[in-house]
Chain A
Amino acid sequence: MDTLLLSRIQFAANISFHILFPTITIALGWVLLFFKLRFNRTGDRKWMDLYLFWVKVFALSFALGVVSGITMSFQFGTNWPGFMEVVGNVAGPLLAYEVLTAFFLEAVFLGIMLFGASRVPGWLHTLATFLVAFGTTMSAFWILVLNSWMHTPVGHEVRDGIVYAVDWWAIIFNPSMPYRLAHMLLASGLTVAFLIAGLSAYRWLRGDRAPEVATGLRFGVALGAVLIPVQILAGDMHGLNTLEHQPAKVAAMEGNWETRGNVPLLLFALPDEETRSNAFEIGIPSMASVILKHDPAGVVPGLNDFVAEDGTVLHPPVSPVFWSFRIMVGIGMLMLVASWAGAWMLWRRGVEGLPKPYLWGLTGMTFAGWGATLAGWYTTEIGRQPWLVHGVLTVKDAVGDIAGGMVLSTLIAYVAVYLALLAAYVGVIFHLARKGGRYDAPVASPGMQPAE
């Protein structure tokens, strides 16, 4: 295999592993703040137990996110030197602001949030919790600004092949940023909703009747039920935005080869780039046109528009984008059914009345958010190919000149470490759930006293 492909696989492996953990910590930080504030207000022990259980998951996820994130910051230089050389004037300040406004804030106050409860006044501990949640969200903001700019670059000019920033306001609020940011923050919320619901269901199934188990279950299902319709709406708007700025990506997502009206929404197909057509199509007539153009006759761009005169393909590989998109939407639909059915049953019958198969189903969906998030990122990132920065820099031109064998050997080492850590992470999360809410410490330490 050549260095380009190996470097791409290596970066994909690193960033796929990395994103799992911020996806949890971004929303879980706010959820922890919510638990803490509920405890401050009600003085009910179950909120503190929820906080103490989930803060462990947060600490573990945060550590994994930090160390895998450090890897990314080095790989820009080791594998993709062309990226910073060409667009460094834009990417640099955005990354710098992420480090300055987010990383230090999170890292320092995490220490106080985790270990400071008995050393600082209650308000300062709550403030530390807030600052950690705020820091993770700021971090998401800056990195999504940069990522969005790579999809829809504006506010810059190119002089002698190097990108120079002209209008920072335009760069930060680039056309796809608001949609991508909203979509990702909601994805994080849903991931955490199903993580909490799933682990609480697991504890309930094992006979753990501590008060915080039922509360956690209700909280997770309710959060999922509230966020999923918002996410479907945000995702749809994000798709329309992509249609405007990156039509080739949408054509690949829909598996649509010819520009035409009455495009069907394909539920299944095997796109074939050799014959430039789909095999085994099953679709809903005109539905893609309705979704994308709000009109059955609406004209949707096709992939064949993105082939140069000499036959060079300028659109992304079709099958991975087509299928990642379907996996994401499929998991989203499953989340809709699971959370609304659960919310309805909880409303009618309470936690005691939830049927066992449903609880097992929730347990199975503990990490469903990861699946949807990864599939969504594959859709958008593979959908940008062959560009690294859309219309400005191709992936091929940014890759570093490293011996293929060196990239391959480090790739194998990274993947081995990541797989082992992933197994350990999931194992420890369920181990913590089995240990449950058995906390020996009394509610006496000052940090845990209600504010009133």
Chain B
Amino acid sequence: MFDPQALPLIFAALMGVSILLYVVLDGFDLGVGLLFPFAEEAERDRMVASIGPFWDANETWLVLAIGILLVAFPVAHGDILTALYLPVAVMLIGLILRGVAFEFRAKAPLGHKRPWDVAFWAGSLMTALAQGFMLGMYVMGLEWTWAKVAFSLLTAGALAVAYSFIGAAWVILKTDGVLQRKAVDWAKGGIWGMVLGMGAVSVATPLVSARIFDKWFRFPEIVALAPLPLMSGLLVALLWLSLRRLPTANDSFSWFPFAGAVVLMVLGFFGMAYSFYPYIVPEQLTIWEAAAATESLSIILVGTLVVLPMILGYTVLAYVIFRGKATKLSYD
């Protein structure tokens, strides 16, 4: 039904899109959690209100990404996850803490709200650090040596700060007044995480693998690829300029930091995808070697082609319904 050679490629693309959507979408709500200690209680309520209707669906992109890895590349799924056993466990406990703290902080007796806020922050931090660590380990070829762990700790910190940047950008978009002004300061404080993280990965990736080095610095590819870092650099400069002027009197351009952060993440993602293609386990297993049986991939693809547009449709619907500045959350 489908070309057996094309199927693994399609699924690799689908998984990439899911990971990208996850990093952008859960990135902003994880970032909001990371910023909790800097906000007053009423501000925390409003920050939660700004992500309340979305966080659950945002996290589902992670389930889809890991699901595609599981079903389309079963061998790679085992290899990658057993290598990342510990950070995965830390991330899962973090996701559990923060997911439930969302509900408990609103429903527990009043005196218990503060501990649940701490749990929400701690869970967000564990998740962000673990994901950054896994990113670093993946770039380093999933080997546990001191140097590689040190690099992964660097990316862990950088991704957490980058998430706090996109979280702050979301708060700028979804709120106004004092909280919005605070968020501009948070964004100024967090943008370096974005730069450091993307810079570290960009420098390290070609150094770890001669193959990747060659892919980037060979002529004429180097000319075609040059816009990627140049655009990223330009965007960072524009983001910094906009943050110096925000918030504006009529709230214009409050969307810009969030949009800029998203574009940065998309650029970074394409850079990584270009580097690692065609490998799914870096330098060991290509997407064709790791792919599941053609019949099984075909039947998943049929369902995906039917259902994915619907998912995107009602996801957009939810964002439209809850557009505008965040207000108090209520079930009535």
Contact = CB atoms under 8 A, between A and B. Distances in A.
Interface in A385-439: 400-402, 406, 410, 413-414, 417, 421, 424, 427-428, 431-432, 439
Contacts of B60: 99, 103-104, 107
B292 interface: yes
A406 B85 contact: yes
A84 B70 contact: yes
A108 B318 contact: yes
Interface size band for A? 35 or more
B78 A400 contact: yes
Interface string B102-113: 111001110000
B318 to A, nearest CB: 5
B295 A84 contact: no
Given A73-B66, A406-B86, A421 B100 contact: yes
B53 interface: yes
Interface in B290-317: 292-293, 295-296, 299-300, 303-304, 307-308, 311, 314-315, 317
A120 to B, nearest CB: 6
A448 interface: yes
Nearest to A400: B82
Interface stretch (A109-117, A352-360, A373-381): A109-117
A446 B127 CA distance: 38
Contacts of A165: 293, 295-296, 299
Contacts of B225: none
B293 A89 contact: yes
B315 A104 contact: yes
B293 A447 contact: no
Interface string A92-111: 11011101110111011111
B74 interface: yes
B330 A103 contact: no
A402 B85 contact: yes
B315 to A, nearest CB: 6
A101 B307 contact: yes
A77 B71 contact: no
Interface residues of B, number: 64
B196 interface: no
B99 interface: yes
Given A67-B99, A92-B296, A111-B322, A74 B71 contact: no
Contacts of A68: 96
Contact of A63 (B53, B102, B293, B308): B102
A62 B82 CA distance: 28
Contact of A93 (B82, B296, B318, B330): B296
B65 to A, nearest CB: 10
A120 B104 contact: no
B56 interface: yes
B295 to A, nearest CB: 6
A85 interface: yes
A82 B82 CA distance: 11
A103 to B, nearest CB: 5
Given A52-B331, A70-B92, A107-B60, A115 B322 contact: yes
B64 interface: yes
A84 B330 contact: no
Contacts of B67: 73, 95-96, 99
Contacts of B97: 417
Contacts of B104: 60, 424, 428
Interface string B80-97: 111011101100110111
A225 interface: no
Interface in A264-284: none
Contact of A77 (B80, B292, B293, B332): B80
Given A76-B70, A78-B81, A95-B67, A417 B96 contact: yes
12 contacts: A64-B99, A67-B99, A77-B69, A95-B70, A96-B68, A99-B63, A100-B311, A104-B60, A112-B321, A118-B330, A417-B93, A441-B330
Given A111-B52, A114-B331, 19 more contacts: A60-B104, A63-B56, A63-B102, A67-B96, A70-B92, A73-B66, A77-B69, A78-B84, A85-B75, A92-B70, A109-B318, A111-B54, A115-B53, A115-B329, A120-B321, A402-B82, A414-B89, A431-B107, A448-B332
Interface of A: 52, 55-56, 59-60, 62-64, 66-71, 73-74, 76-78, 81-82, 84-85, 88-93, 95-97, 99-101, 103-105, 107-112, 114-120, 162, 164-165, 168, 400-402, 406, 410, 413-414, 417, 421, 424, 427-428, 431-432, 439, 441, 445, 447-448
Interface of B: 52-54, 56-57, 59-60, 62-64, 66-72, 74-75, 77-82, 84-86, 88-89, 92-93, 95-97, 99-100, 102-104, 107-109, 292-293, 295-296, 299-300, 303-304, 307-308, 311, 314-315, 317-318, 321-322, 329-332
